[in-house]
Amino acid sequence: MPELVFTPLQEIPKIHAQLRASFKTGKLRSIAYRKYQLLQLAYLIKDNKKRFEEALNADLGRPAIEGHFLEINSSASEVKEAYCNVEKWAKPEKPGFSLNFTVMRPVIYKEAKGVVLIISPFNYPLFLTLPPLVRTCLLDTTDYDLHISQAAAIAAGNATVLKPSESTPAVSSLLAELIPKYLDSDIVSVVNGSVAEATKLLELQWDHIMYTGGPRVAKVVAAAANKFLTPITLEDFTVNLETDIFFSSEVMPPPLRTFSQLSNYNVGKSPVIVDPQCDLEMAARRILWGKCVNAGQTCVAPDYVLVPRSFQDKFVDALKAAHKSFYPESAQPSKSDTFSRIVTPQAWKRIKSLVDNTKGAVVLGGETDEATKFIAPTVVRDIQADDSLMSEYDLPIPSLCLPVEDIDEAIAFVNARDHPLALYVFSQNAEFKAK
């Protein structure tokens, strides 16, 4: 795999200026040209599937089938959807009836914002880089919020800078190589680097910033955007507006809503509440899958399970049975083609330290290998609120069983903490779910 080459700091303002100048020429006002760029992006993915598969494996130990399912095929589907819908998205619209404005006969015209910055994370380095390029949320198109237009950065006619994660050097290097070959460099550029390069990017004025990742960096991004009153989309956050609740009839992990503004938020761990009357086999399989796919490195992966004390033994047995069905003797997760790896040695050491210091009982898994950054699917029971494994947001790998007396204690426990990114409820009882 090629070595990741950081973009020289002095080149970043030049890239920004070039994109700004290109946007002003109006070449992206043509719907036909936008569709051509989207088609080129589709060919970029199609022609290089094997190379993306290899890059994902190099960065994350991603098995081939998982790489295609989670990122490669999903990214291609996003491009196809934008290509097929760009004309519809670009059409002017009339807002719903309003007594205050009907005499003005308002019409909403879809105008591109300008130059967009997309900062993507390590855990889905392809799917959280290319689809945002294709499907950027352009919010608040009128002062009265009469319409919310979800369109693509390219399809909507924006010029874009992509800043992939430095923690996935193989994918980031491949994107830097391929994007200039397939897309118009006057409208899409890749900036690779770490903190210094990201800081330089955030010193510049953008027309919209998209960031996917943890709250610590999100606050830095929001502060930088605030200097220019730049609108931002912080994906994968709840912002004390509402909580996403997904019940057992849905496939995990489901898509999250996105928000265009930051307002006094704290992102909490994503809990699971299990009703003893649920379909236990299905619940165990879905919870374990959510914690095993991509080695648990998913923002909406279930972090801990609130389960009645009297039901904990039965629930743990169900998790063990699910694990056995997922990983029989012929396909153990320690094998490189069945289970992803932790992204960096530093992340591996952090997670292992938290597991080593838990006061709960490890009843499944726990095996590790520093050389390959492997941590086995792990179940820890009898977790308490102050446990080391409860101390960090978005902790991969361990499935934590936190016993409670009843649903009321579970609700109180969740409400006493930061708003969860996602909340999963497994129950067949409508009253239980409504509560």
Catalytic residues, which ones? 235, 299
Give the tokens for residue 108: 């909403």
Instruction: Report the alpha-carbon distance of residue 211 to residue 223 in Å, rounded.
Output: 13
337: left (phi over 0), alpha (psi -120 to 50) or beta: alpha
The two counts, helices (H) then strands (E), for the chain are 14, 16
Quick one: which of 132, 160, 31, 138 has its CA closest to 74?
132
Instruction: Report the alpha-carbon distance of residue 307 to residue 7 in Å, rounded.
Output: 49
Instruction: Report the alpha-carbon distance of residue 310 to residue 405 in Å, rounded.
Output: 8
Instruction: Report the alpha-carbon distance of residue 343 to residue 325 in Å, rounded.
Output: 26
Instruction: Report the alpha-carbon distance of residue 77 to residue 81 in Å, rounded.
Output: 6
Give the tokens for residue 385: 């609120």
Query: Which secondary-structure segment (H or E) carries 47?
Result: helix 31-47
Give residue for tokens 């080459």: 5
What are the phi and psi torsion angles at 192 (to 5°)?
Answer: -100, 150
Instruction: Report the alpha-carbon distance of residue 267 to residue 245 in Å, rounded.
Output: 15
